[in-house]
Amino acid sequence: MLRDAWLIAVKDLRIEWRSRVTLSQIVPFAALVLVLFGFALDANRPVLETATSGLFWVTVMFVAIMAVQRSTAVEVTDGARRALLLAGIEPIAVFVGKTVAIAAQLLVVQVLLVAGVIVLYGASVDQWVLLLVTCLVATVGIAASGSLLGALVAGVRARETVLPILLLPILAPVLIGATRAFDDALGSVAVDGWAWLGLLAGFGAINLVLGALAYGVLLEEI
């Protein structure tokens, strides 16, 4: 199963690498959102510094929607999903593989976003370890629920508009938890960031299990 999952992840990442969509569209979009927040908050440095964590994670949510949409589009085109099933790959391997691929792309974007908030918003990182662990754990949760919902909307006609409606409310705990943990890592608000990691880990674990259970049902049906 793990070997198949690895194959799926490598396949998705190879497609991304060759098409350059993440690099040429998603990364510039993330940078653009950071700049737009700067305009919207009137380039007010103290306000930007206080709001950095929240703005960072809202940007990640937007990027996640794009990444999930890309990951879904790859499978919908030319009935690739049916071909995967016909190849005898277990649905759970497809789920894990696609989750890993989405997570990898999100992490790349987050590295650039961290650099972005340091340069544009004047943020300074107090605890690098907390920051890195938060990014990793939150990303697992986002990617797991993202790849499940991506498969869920795959056959829906207006999937581009339905996906954000479904995904964003479910990701609310990640937005809250990761923002608070980042507040601590950036030293902008005095909270215990490590305590929030437990919640993020719980969200990630539950959505991994849910996805693993539900993915098979979805792929058989559609």
Partner 1 sequence: MTKINQTASAPTGTGSRFTFWLGLTVIVGVVVLVLLGFFAAPEDDEQGDAVRMIFVHVPSALLTYVAFSVTAFGSLMWIWKRSVWWDITAHAAAEIGVIFCGLTLFTGSVWGRPTWNTYWDWGDVRLVTTLILFLIMIGYLSIRSSGGDEGATSTRAAIIGLVAAVNLPIVNRSVEWWFDRTLHQKSSLTDGNLEDMTLFSLVVGIAVWAAFFLWAMIHRFRIAWLERELRVGDLNEAIAERRAEALQDESTQR
Residues binding partner 1 (CB under 8 A): 145, 148-149, 152-153, 155-158, 162, 165-166, 168-170, 172-173, 176-177, 180, 195-196, 199, 202-203, 206-207, 210, 214, 217-218, 221-222
Q: How far apart are CA 115 and CA 118, in angstroms?
A: 5
Minimum distance from CB of 7 to partner 1 (Å)?
25
Minimum distance from CB of 196 to partner 1 (Å)?
7
CB environment 16-38: b (16+ within 10 A), e (fewer) = beeeebbeeebbeebbebbeebb
**Contact indicator for 113, 30 with CB cutoff of 8 Å:** yes
Residue 126 or 192: which CB sits closer to partner 1? 192
Among 80, 63, 82, which residue's Cα sits nearest to residue 22?
63
Residue 78 or 221: which CB sits closer to partner 1? 221
**Contact indicator for 196, 212 with CB cutoff of 8 Å:** no
Minimum distance from CB of 132 to partner 1 (Å)?
21
Minimum distance from CB of 198 to partner 1 (Å)?
10
Residue 22 or 207: which CB sits closer to partner 1? 207
Q: What is the crossing angle of helices 159-170 and 128-153, to 10°?
A: 140
Which helix (DSSP H) or strand (DSSP E) does residue 209 occupy?
Answer: helix 193-221
Q: How far apart are CA 99 and CA 211, in angstroms?
A: 10
Residue 7 or 73: which CB sits closer to partner 1? 73
Residue 120 or 152: which CB sits closer to partner 1? 152
Residue 187 or 202: which CB sits closer to partner 1? 202
Minimum distance from CB of 220 to partner 1 (Å)?
9
The two tokens of residue 144 are 């797991």
Q: How far apart are CA 215 and CA 89, in angstroms?
A: 13
Minimum distance from CB of 67 to partner 1 (Å)?
19
